Amino acid sequence: MNLHHVLFLTVTIRFASAHALLATDEAKSLSLGHPMVANTNEARSLRVAKELGENKEERGNPTSALTSKISSMIPIDLKLAAWQALGKPEAYVKTKLGLDGLEEAQLKAHKNYGRFVKYVEKALENDIWNKAIGGYSTYKFWKDMGFDTITTLKQLKAIQQTEKFKLYKRYAIKFDDLVVNRFKSGYTQPDWVFDSKTTAAEKYARAEIWAEMGRKDIDVKEFLGLRWANAEKLRMNSFYKHYVQAKGKTA
């Protein structure tokens, strides 16, 4: 969120709090005023009582009422940025955008549908980044997708067009980008390139992704711990061989 957005929200909240206190003091003053006398003051007393009755809810919870009024004045895109920063769940945002209970056609035609799609995409992007930067292994993500039962290349090929695999692939790419940046920073191979529990199928999947993404051979060798391996050792490594074949080369 931009700095001026943060400042705007801060000022808004303080403004609401300050005026809520004033509203509370005003209510107290009205309820603790001087006793009313007959005739002229009696009419005024009845009028005040009526006004207090009409505004019972607002007087009873001035902070909530005023905050609600101010909230309605804040641009929706600014609210979305705040919700994103606070990590509000999709269900919460969907409700706030008035999208609950809509059929698919109505949902897509709604003026806030595009905003909701962007919110969901940004939330996913943030989740992927946070997991990757925190060293959440690609195998854990692979397992989260339910792929830990995959044991053959045939099974691997069968899942590659699924939405779950596309999500895994997206995560693996981000994870590997961070690993490559670590290489470029002069560090040696981190021990979390591969989870100790990873399967051969997951390694083959990553090898194909490396080929598709055009990863440099030197980086792939680093991934596999083969940076100083000779040609014979490279040919003997099934994962490097799979990577080379996926690129359309010969080992």
pLDDT tens profile 162-218: 999 999 999 999 999 999 988 777 665 556 789 999 999 999 999 999 999 999 999
More confident site: 79 or 35? 79
- Is residue 226 over pLDDT 90? yes
pLDDT at 64 (0 to 100): 65
Q: What is the mean pLDDT of residues 6-15?
A: 46
pLDDT tier for residue 147 given thresholds of 50, 70 and 90: very high
- Is residue 144 over pLDDT 50? yes
More confident site: 133 or 3? 133
pLDDT tier for residue 14 given thresholds of 50, 70 and 90: very low
Q: What is the mean pLDDT of residues 70-98?
A: 90
Q: What is the mean pLDDT of residues 67-88?
A: 85
% residues pLDDT > 70 (the chain): 69
Q: Are 202 and 149 in contact (CB under 8 A)?
A: no
Tell me: the pLDDT tens digits for 95-105?
A: 999 999 999 99
Domain range list for the chain: 1-74, 135-246
Q: Which amino acid is at 49?
A: A
More confident site: 170 or 53? 170
pLDDT tier for residue 7 given thresholds of 50, 70 and 90: very low
pLDDT at 117 (0 to 100): 96
pLDDT at 22 (0 to 100): 40
Q: Are 34 and 44 in contact (CB under 8 A)?
A: no
- Is residue 30 over pLDDT 50? no
To the nearest 10°, the Cα dihedral for 201, 206, 211, 214?
A: 180
pLDDT at 51 (0 to 100): 52
Tell me: the pLDDT tens digits for 104-143?
A: 999 999 999 999 999 999 999 999 999 999 999 999 999 9
| Three-state SS sequence of the chain | CCHHHHHHHHHHHHHHHHHHHHHHHHHHHHHCCCCCCCCHHHHHHHHHHHHHHHCHHHHHCHHHHHHHHHHCCCCHHHHHHHHHHHCCCHHHHHHHCCCCCCCHHHHHHCCCHHHHHHHHHHHHHHHHHHHHHCCCCHHHHHHHCCCCCCCCHHHHHHHCCCHHHHHHHHHHHHHHHHHHHHHHCCCCCCCCCCCCCCCHHHHHHHHHHHHHHCCCHHHHHHHCCCCCCCHHHHHHCHHHHHHHHHCCCCC
- Is residue 1 over pLDDT 70? no
Number of neighbours of residue 86 by Cβ within 10 angstroms: 9
Scored b (16 or more CB within 10 A) or e, 94-133 reads bebbebeeeeeeeeeeeebeebbeebeeebeeeebeebbe
Q: Are 141 and 171 in contact (CB under 8 A)?
A: yes
- Is residue 55 over pLDDT 50? yes
